[in-house]
């Protein structure tokens, strides 16, 4: 092992014209793939050098050379490999490609990473997969085994086995560390009072029944507006409390129903402003023909409040501290006022902020469900 040749000692910058592609290279790089490599270089940098012999004959990296040309580079990083015989050099042209091809993806870990990158707004086109491949890879998984290998995706969603004999009964109050969990009817003011024990909530995030489409254990929702009024009359909110309510679409007789209209008006009559409306992006649509409409892959989240609150910027900005959004004359490309000027709130003349607000599209894919993702449309993540 000690006589292995180490490329770290042989890394050089070479003018692009010094390199000579192998005229019998059996590996084909079509223009679309070259464009993808160029896109990847623009994002990640030129992080894998080209391998060439001492005379510039390329041993590995023909696609990288084409991409570098496409990007207009004049120099490229090269590892000069001069310890190979002519025969070995030609053999390695094949081995370099074929050895990589013979590894495979762990579909579950790959899907987890893809969804994670997607939720962080990373442009998945830069990864080299086609749009159709991404759709396939990110579609709900079919096995219900937990993630193998202890990858970090899934760790936060470790769900304990339910007890064979559930012990929770109506009226139970569970004290779980600093959390309180009450088993009861949300329309019952006494239930809310017992849960809150005199405290007021800063945030309420709830997912009530979606209209009267399902027969829940309560025996069905006869009058949805009445149920909603019952629940939202009792909100134990602090004056600056924020209320977020998740609702999905219902279709009936070939149409989606605006079943929330009456309730929205009633909320306003109680002083709750329709402050925000968000989209919960649940990942690729569920299987099925859906009567010919597009496969469901989102739900709505209604955000109400009575008072605004200080913006909580928690998402790190990729270009923090940079000024790439400024034009050459120093003007911001940010949103303009009707008179054409850029206001301070859109960061006129400033570099990109360190942190920004979360998006109004909440990206939590159903793949997190592991096993019930095609049975239940609204799979909530579990956070410890
Ligand atoms: C759309 S589902 C949301 C499920 C929830 N997000 C979860 O992950 O379990 C609506 C839930 O509201 C419950 N529900 C219906 N009427 C209720 C009431 N009066 N009080 C409390 N929960 C009720 C149903 O049993 C159902 O579990």
Quick check: is 160 in a domain? no
Give the per-residue pLDDT at 215.
53
Same domain, 207 and 180: no
Beta carbons of 58 and 20 less than 8 angstroms apart: yes
226 secondary structure, DSSP code: H
Domains: count for the chain: 4
Quick one: tokens of 311? 């913006």
What pLDDT sits at residue 340? Answer: 73
Q: So what's the pLDDT on residue 144?
A: 36
Instruction: Quote the CA–CA distance of 326 and 320 in Å, as a whole number.
Output: 13
The CATH number of residue 16's host domain is 3.90.1530.10
Q: Rounded to whole angstroms, what are the CA distances from 54 to 4, 18, 183?
A: 18, 10, 75
The closest-lying atom of ligand 1 relative to the alpha carbon of residue 187 is 19
Contacts 24+ apart (CB under 8 A), 323-331: 323/351, 323/352, 324/352, 325/352, 326/351
**Residue 241 covered by a domain:** yes
Whose Cα sits closest to atom 2 in ligand 1?
Answer: 209
- Cα–Cα distances (Å) from 97 to 35, 55, 316, in that order, read 19, 22, 37
Q: CB neighbours of 261 closer than 8 A, spacing ≥ 6?
A: none
* Ligand 1 centre distance from Cα of residue 138 (Å): 28
Q: From the CA of 185, give the closest atom in ligand 1.
A: 20
Give the Å distance between the CA of 209 and the centre of ligand 1.
6
Indicate whether 302 and 214 sit together in one domain. Answer: yes
Residues 230 and 288 in one domain: yes
Q: What range defines the domain where residue 57 resides?
A: 7-101
pLDDT at 219: 52
What 3-state DSSP class applies to 291?
helix
**Positions of the chain with pLDDT lower than 50, given as ranges:** 141-155, 216-217, 383-384
Question: Which pLDDT does position 125 carry in this prediction?
Answer: 82
Report how far apart, in Å, the C-alpha atoms of 374 and of each of 55, 148, 161 are.
57, 21, 20
| Nearest in space to 26 (alpha carbons), one of 85, 120, 90, 86 | 90
Residue 186 alpha carbon, nearest atom of ligand 1: 20
Tell me the per-residue pLDDT of 313-336, one tens digit each, with 9 for 90 and over: 998 887 788 766 666 666 656 667
**Tokens standing for residue 323:** 């000024």
Cα of 222 vs centre of ligand 1, distance in Å, is 14
Pocket-testing residue among 159, 181, 206, 208, ligand 1, by greatest number of atoms within 8 A of Cβ: 208
Q: Which atom of ligand 1 is nearest to the CA of 216?
A: 25
- Cα 178 from Cα 290, distance rounded (Å): 43
Number of residues written out for the chain:
384
> 212 CB less than 6 Å from ligand 1?
no
Residue linked to tokens 């997190």: 368
Ligand 1 nearest atom to the CA of residue 191, by list position: 20
| Sign of the CA dihedral with 6 first, then 10, 16, and 22 last | negative
Q: How far apart are CA 72 and CA 67, in angstroms?
A: 9
Decide if 335 is inside a domain.
yes
Ligand 1 mean position to 378 CA, how many Å?
A: 12
124: left (phi over 0), alpha (psi -120 to 50) or beta: alpha
Shared-domain flag, residues 205 and 266: yes
| Whole-number pLDDT of residue 1 | 52
Ligand 1, residues 209, 220, 300: which to mutate, most atoms within 8 A of Cβ?
209
User: 283 with 345, same domain?
Assistant: no
CB 21 less than 6 A from any atom of ligand 1: no
C-alpha–C-alpha distance, residues 190 and 175, integer Å: 18
End-to-end CA distance of the chain: 46
């Amino acid at each position: 092992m000690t006589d292995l040749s180490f490329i770290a000692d042989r890394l050089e910058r070479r003018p692009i014209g010094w390199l000579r592609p192998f005229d019998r290279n059996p590996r084909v790089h079509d223009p679309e793939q070259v464009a993808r490599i160029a896109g990847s270089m623009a994002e990640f940098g030129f992080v894998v050098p080209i391998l060439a012999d001492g005379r510039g004959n390329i041993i590995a990296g023909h696609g990288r050379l084409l991409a570098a040309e496409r990007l207009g580079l004049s120099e490229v990083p090269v590892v000069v490999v001069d310890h190979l015989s002519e025969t070995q050099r030609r053999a390695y042209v094949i081995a370099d490609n074929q050895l990589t091809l013979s590894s495979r993806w762990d579909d579950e870990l790959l899907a987890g990473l893809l969804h994670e990158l997607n939720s962080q707004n990373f442009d998945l086109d830069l990864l080299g997969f086609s749009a159709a491949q991404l759709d396939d890879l990110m579609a709900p998984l079919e096995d219900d085994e937990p993630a193998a290998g202890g990858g970090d995706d899934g760790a936060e969603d470790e769900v304990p086995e339910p007890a064979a004999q559930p012990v929770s009964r109506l009226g139970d109050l569970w004290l779980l560390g600093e959390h309180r969990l009450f088993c009861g009817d949300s329309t019952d003011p006494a239930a809310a009072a017992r849960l809150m024990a005199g405290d007021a909530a800063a945030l309420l995030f709830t997912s009530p029944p979606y209209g009267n489409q399902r027969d829940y254990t309560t025996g069905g929702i006869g009058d949805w507006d009445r149920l909603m009024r019952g629940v939202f009359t009792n909100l134990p909110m602090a004056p600056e409390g924020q209320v977020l309510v998740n609702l999905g679409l219902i279709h009936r007789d070939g149409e989606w129903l605006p079943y929330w209209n009456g309730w929205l008006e009633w909320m306003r009559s109680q002083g709750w402003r329709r402050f925000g409306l968000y989209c919960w992006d649940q990942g690729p649509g569920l299987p099925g023909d859906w009567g010919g409409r597009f496969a469901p892959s989102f739900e709505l989240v209604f955000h109400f409040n009575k008072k605004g609150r200080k913006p909580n910027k928690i998402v790190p900005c990729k270009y923090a501290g940079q000024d790439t959004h400024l034009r050459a004359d120093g003007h911001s490309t940010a949103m303009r006022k009707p008179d054409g000027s850029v206001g301070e709130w859109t960061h006129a003349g400033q570099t990109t902020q360190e942190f920004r607000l979360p998006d109004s599209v909440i990206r939590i894919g159903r793949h997190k469900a592991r096993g019930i993702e095609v049975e239940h449309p609204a799979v909530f993540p579990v956070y410890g």
